[in-house]
Amino acid sequence: MNAIADLNWTPVCNVDDLLPNLGVCAKVADKQVAIFKIMENGSANLFAIDNHDPFSEANVLSRGIVGDLKGHTVVASPIYKHHFDLVTGQCLEDDVRIPVYPVRVQNGRVEVMVA
């Protein structure tokens, strides 16, 4: 991997610090990012989205409930219950999309890239 490209990744926590199917919030490059470790068929998938709920204007998405809705892995905002696709950021109830961020595990550490 290119050393310049690695400069854009910010270490957040150890992957073992994340609880399955629950979100956490981390400040990355002056943004609040909600990170989720979703367990499916015995394997973990990581997702990182903006923590800001555009409907309630609050930074709460990391506290939402995750699940599957119509074939989409989603988080439901804890305030107005809008569902956001963790892959695309698209709200399933409205024509609104929140930012999603690349997330990876390097040497057991979760890293997020926020441009």
- The Cβ-side half-sphere exposure at 57, using a 13 Å CA radius, reads 0
Per residue in 39-51, pLDDT (tens digit) is 988 999 999 999 9
Confidence of residue 115 (pLDDT cuts 50, 70, 90): confident
Q: Assess contact for 85 and 72: CB atoms under 8 A.
A: yes
Phi/psi at 112 (nearest 5 deg)?
-125, 145
The tokens describing 79, both together, are: 């305030």
| Residue 4, pLDDT score | 47
**Which sign does the torsion angle of CA 46, 110, 53, 90 carry?**
negative
CA distances from 16 to 13, 40, 81 (A): 8, 16, 28
Architecture per CATH, 3-113: 3-layer Sandwich (2.102)
Q: Where are the domains of the chain?
A: 3-113
Give the whole-angstrom CA distance, residue 14 versus residue 21: 16
pLDDT of 6 strictly over 60: yes
| Residue 5, pLDDT score | 58
